[in-house]
Each structure stands twice: as C-alpha cells, then as structure tokens.
Amino acid sequence: MDVQAIYIKEMIERAKSACSSAYNIYSKFPVGACVRSNIGKYYDGCNVENGSYSLTICAEASAIASMVNGGCRLVTDVVVFSNLAAECKPCGACRQIINEFANDSTKIHVCDVDGYNIRTILIRDLLPEPFILS
C-alpha cells in the first residue's frame, strides 16, 4: 500500500468517526470531515446544525477552523463522509472555504457509504473560478 493510500484510509476513518458526532437534528444528514495540513497533521470536524439553517456549520468548515486554530494554513487533502450518501462532496460554501486554504494540488477524496475511497478530485476542478478578493 502506498503512502497516499495509507493516509487517505486514516482520514476516512477519522471522518467516519467525526460523522458519528454530528449534531444533525434538523436535516438528519450527518457529515464528518478530515483535513490534512501541509505538515501532515489531521484535523476533524462534523456538521453542527442550528434551527436557523444559515447558522449551520458544515463538517469541512469545522475541520478547517480547527486546523487554523492549530496554527496551520494549508490544506493538502480533504475527506468528506456521510453514511447516507456516496460521494458526499463539499457544498459551494465549503468549496470556497477549502480554496482559501488550498493550493492547486489540494485534493478532495470522496468515498462511498462504507468508507472506501472511490475518487479523488482537485479543488480547482470542483471550484474552477473561486471568489478572490483583489
């Protein structure tokens, strides 16, 4: 097994674990995420819903906030997991948040409901024209 496959497997397990902590009483759609920083540290997050949906925090945003709090600023890999949907990709807002802390080689790994990596997508392909403040 190559090194990338090993860390993706670890990230999927962490995202699955985070998914089990999701606070999703409104949508009933639990999501967990794990991001890997450029120094190889992992940060996990889960969705945290609110009665006012616009205040809901997505799993990816939660994980990236944890990464930033940990002093890292570059995401190399992201895994998003839900046990209710295969290929649970980041929403539009999360694509923009990921992009803020990404480079051209940042990868999004999507998996099936059993937690097997089935596809890897570059962030630039998921969000080809991000908003950039200039």
Query: Residue 118 is inside which H or E element, if any?
Result: strand 117-122
Sign of CA dihedral 4, 88, 55, 15: negative
Catalytically annotated residue among 10, 13, 60, 100: 60
Classify 61 as helix, strand or coil.
helix
85 with 115: CB under 8 angstroms? no
Classify 16 as helix, strand or coil.
helix
Pairing of strands 42-46, 117-122: unpaired
Short-list 75, 81, 90, CA closest to 117: 81
68: its two tokens: 């930033």
Known catalytic residue at 60: yes
Annotated catalytic residues are 60
